[in-house]
Amino acid sequence: MAKIAIVGVGAIGGVLAGILETSQAHALTLCTRRALYALTVDTPEGAVSVQFRNATDPAQTEPVDWILCATKTYDAVSAAKWFPALTGPETRLAVIQNGVEHRENFSGLFPPERILPVVIDVPAERRSETQILQRADAFLRVESSPPGSDFASLFAHTRAKLDLTDDFLSAAWAKLCINSAGVISALTLKPAGILRDEALGEVALGLIAECVAVGRAEGAHLDDGTGERILAGYRAGSPDSINSLLADRLSNRRTEIEARNGVIIRRGEKHGIPTPLNRMAVALFNGMAT
């Protein structure tokens, strides 16, 4: 049995808690700002009631085997306040966030040799403080390494799909390509079905093409069919699915626009690659938020 602490119990953190609960093999601590008395994850296979210990203060915790950090990318410093009390000599930190800067976000906040970046692909929404909707099975990618294998073993006997990859860079950029098109929902304030519109589908392909170009310059292997596959995936999915960028905007919360589309612009500038569609999307997004 592993001792696991989840820092950041939003849609993704909640889904992870629900998946780990189904293994019935771990002791879960959910680290939250406010008291959390229950957590239910509605999955395609039925509702999962998570059994957990809740901590609202680091002083209420003790060292664990794994810290799973599923906070927003801009919350790294806040999340790190939990680390000293949760960390023992062998504790590892799995960073499960959007973007391509998993390790950079926690530079100086945790021993770098014990950080494991993780990419997750799962349509999920937080319906309330205590209820998460998981629309499909979760697919996670981690580095093919001893820590990666240990992380994968946490999810044994669950429905989560784990891929150990020798090319995590490409996996992270492939996920960013998916997220880049999600800005269209956030700009139009409409769920994923909006990408079934032909004109907006063309815009999505353009946003993704810029991400592919920058990702390739960074060393990622992304083929020419990436955009069409992603758009097809959006169109085949639930039309009322809400991505986290849209959810945050609807709730007037701070967003991860800089970690999603902003990073494409920043890395593009480094390589001299123009990213006009992503640049316009970020400008419009930020303009609407003011």
Which residue among the candidates 3, 175, 190, 270 is catalytic per the annotation? 175
199 and 79 part of one domain: no
116 and 180 part of one domain: no
160 and 250 part of one domain: no
- CA dihedral of 167, 168, 174, 176, whole degrees rounded to 10: -150
Computed over every residue of the chain, the mean pLDDT equals 96
Structure confidence at residue 127 (pLDDT): 92
- Is the pLDDT assigned to residue 290 strictly greater than 70? no
Per-residue DSSP letter, 45: T
- Containing structural domain, residue 119: 2-166
β-pair partners for 4: 28, 66
231, two tokens: 């758009």
159 and 173 part of one domain: no
Per-residue DSSP letter, 113: G
- Are residues 284 and 213 in contact, defined by beta-carbon separation less than 8 angstroms? no
SS3 47: strand
pLDDT band at 1 (very low <50, low <70, confident <90, very high): confident
Phi, psi values for residue 161, rounded to 5°: -105, 120
- % pLDDT > 70, the chain: 100
159 and 179 part of one domain: no
- Is the pLDDT assigned to residue 2 strictly greater than 80? yes
Q: Which of 166, 183, 214 is the last residue of a domain?
A: 166
CATH number at residue 104: 3.40.50.720
Only one residue has tokens 């950079």, namely: 104
User: What's the rounded mean pLDDT across residues 177-190?
Assistant: 97
Q: Which of 127, 147, 166 is the last residue of a domain?
A: 166
The Cα angle at residue 169 between residues 166 and 174, in degrees rounded to 5: 110
Measured in residues, the chain has a length of 290
25 and 158 part of one domain: yes
Amino acid symbol at 52: F
- Is the pLDDT assigned to residue 264 strictly greater than 80? yes
81 tagged catalytic: no
224 and 245 part of one domain: yes
Cα–Cα distance for residue pair 179/204, rounded to 1 Å: 10
Q: What pTM, to 2 d.p., does this model score?
A: 0.93
Find all residues with CB under 8 Å of 148, minimum gap 6, and list them: 116, 142, 164
281, two tokens: 């999307």
Structure confidence at residue 248 (pLDDT): 93
pLDDT tens digits, one per residue of 26-67:
999 999 999 999 999 999 999 999 999 999 999 999 999 999
**Count: domains in the chain:** 2
Structure confidence at residue 226 (pLDDT): 98
In the chain, count H helices and then E strands: 12, 12
- Is the pLDDT assigned to residue 198 strictly greater than 80? yes
156 and 19 part of one domain: yes
CATH number at residue 197: 1.10.1040.10
Q: Which of 166, 182, 200 is the last residue of a domain?
A: 166
102 and 52 part of one domain: yes
Structure confidence at residue 288 (pLDDT): 87
pLDDT tens digits, one per residue of 209-263:
999 999 999 999 999 999 999 999 999 999 999 999 999 999 999 999 999 999 9
Structure confidence at residue 236 (pLDDT): 95
